[in-house]
Chain A
Amino acid sequence: MKTLAELLSEVPAFVGLTEGHRELIGGCGRNVILPRGDYVFREGDPANAFYAIRRGDVALELGAPATLVIETLHAGDVLGWSWLFPPYRVRYDARVTDDVHAIAFDGACLREKCDADHDLGYELMRRFAQIITARLQSTRLRLLDVYGPPAAVR
């Protein structure tokens, strides 16, 4: 059976971490199984955790007032970054759309370790910045509405 530190090395966002850092991060993690239909978290909840999805699907949603799916996340994705930044509040609902197997990480535990070990903090910040950048890029592309009516028409 693989340890959490070993499982972490299979998550794309955490490939290349030192063994020491994987052990530190893994010390704040636990395996979870979330059934379809469950909410991993709801908008406004305290952001206490993030998840490395190993299997299954999650939809990030917003009620406006009808439910809109903002993005879907799948195996290999990381769910949740609000745990890293004040005010540590979740911005969206995260609903399980296909049974999820994930590693759940305690955000408060990790923040303490990052404060104590700035190298770890830098590594995590750098990797979450890449995740956020990729999501921002995806959001910008969709804001362009490239499949909408073309500007120049015949």
Chain B
Amino acid sequence: MSPKQPLTTKQKDYQKLENKDEIKRPLLRNCIKAFLVGGFICLIGQCITVFYIYFFNFTEQTASNPTVSTLVFISMLLTGFGLYKKLGQLGGAGSAVPVTGFGNAVISAAIEHRSEGLVLGVGGNIFKLAGSVIVFGVFSAFVVALIKTIFQLIGG
């Protein structure tokens, strides 16, 4: 890599001018918004968990699976109807970090490529964004399970 070139006087002047007129990012406000939106999604998730525990035969441990699926399903619907992007604009990372962001990543990629056909367009691109997450999840689960099995075999 070449060493960084020192800025010329003209460039420095331009930077000063830029800094003067640049609108500052409302970092704190964004953080609070992300916190509130993310927290709200988690609150809905908690309500769904309680719903599954109360009305179905799920324990606290097993209720997390249907809860995740429900949340992903809801976010997929919202993405399809074009409502999730509004939430994303408001909450930023707060809407992308929870599991709902996964559903959004899958469906938005599918919508983007639907004009290219069902197989090569939707099928080929649906996991373009979320595919790495799935592969990482499956592979890391496999490695951890392998390590656990080896330890159990050695340790009895």
A associates with B: no
Binding site for A on B (CB under 8 A): none
Binding site for B on A (CB under 8 A): none
